[in-house]
Amino acid sequence: MLQQNYKAVKNLLSEGSTNYKTAKNELLTYILYLAPGNISGVNVCPFASPGCLSSCLYSAGRGAFNSVQTARINRTLIFKHDRQKFYLQLANELMIIHDRAIKNQIDIAIRLNGTSDIDHLSLLKKYSGIDFLDSFYSNLKFYDYTKSPVMAKKYIGTSYKLTFSQSEINNKEAFEILSAGGNIAIVFKNEIPDTFVSYPVINGDESDLRYYDPKNVIIGLKAKGKAKNDKSGFVINNI
C-alpha cells in the first residue's frame, strides 16, 4: 500500500495529443489517466485478468516517466479519499471543454478510462448531479474500453460508446456482448485479420477513437510491449 498523502491537481484530464494513439484521432481528445490495477493501493481495474495486468502498457510512452506515474497515483488517491471533490473537479473540467466545443462548433472526444475501468459517468451524476449523456452535452463524445460486462451491457445503445475487451477469462461474455449489439476488442499476436469467427475486424491501431465504429464488430489490436510474450491466452495467436 502506498502512502495516502496526495495533493490537489490543476487538471484531472489530459489532452490526447500526448498519447501516440489518441494523437491520431480525428477529434480533439481528452483523457483521464489514473494508476491502473492496484498500483496506487486502490484497485481501479476490478475486472482485469492476470493476462491483462501482466501485459498492461501503463509504463509505455509518457507513462515511463516517474513524474507521470506519480501524477496518476496522486489522482487515484484523490478519487479514493475525496470522491466528491474528485467528481466536482472532473465535472467542472468537462463543462469547460463543452463550452469550448460549443464556441468553436466542434465535437470533442472524452475517454474517462485511459488507464482505469470505472463507471465515471454514473459517479459524475451521483456526485455532481450532471448527466453528461444528456443531449445538451452532445458535443462531447464519450468512449472507452472496458472489461466490465455490467458496464458494457448497461451502455449498449446509448451515446457512451464502450468496447468490451476480451481476455483469457471472459470469452463467453465477450461474444454475448458482441451478439447483443456491442463491440469487442481482441489483441492479436500476428497481423490483424479482416474477419475473426465470422465477424468483421476493424484495425484499432489506426485510431483510438471508437465512437463512430459500426455495431457488431471486433476491434483488432496488435500485441505490443510485454503482450508480445503473453502465454495466458489474453493475446490470440492467429497464425
Residue 5 lies in a domain: no
Q: Is the pTM of this model over 0.85?
A: yes
Domain count for the chain, please give it: 1
Residue 195 lies in a domain: yes
Asked if residue 29 has pLDDT above 60, the reply is yes
Residue 191 lies in a domain: yes
Q: What band does 1 get if pLDDT is binned at 50, 70 and 90?
A: very low
Asked if residue 57 has pLDDT above 80, the reply is no
Residue 6 lies in a domain: no
Cell of 168: 483469457
Per residue in 99-114, pLDDT tens? 999 999 999 999 999 9
The domain in which residue 64 lies consists of 13-236
Bridge partners of 200, per DSSP, are 195
Asked if residue 95 has pLDDT above 70, the reply is yes
Residue 231 lies in a domain: yes
Per residue in 155-212, pLDDT tens? 999 999 999 999 999 999 999 999 999 999 999 999 999 999 999 999 999 999 999 9
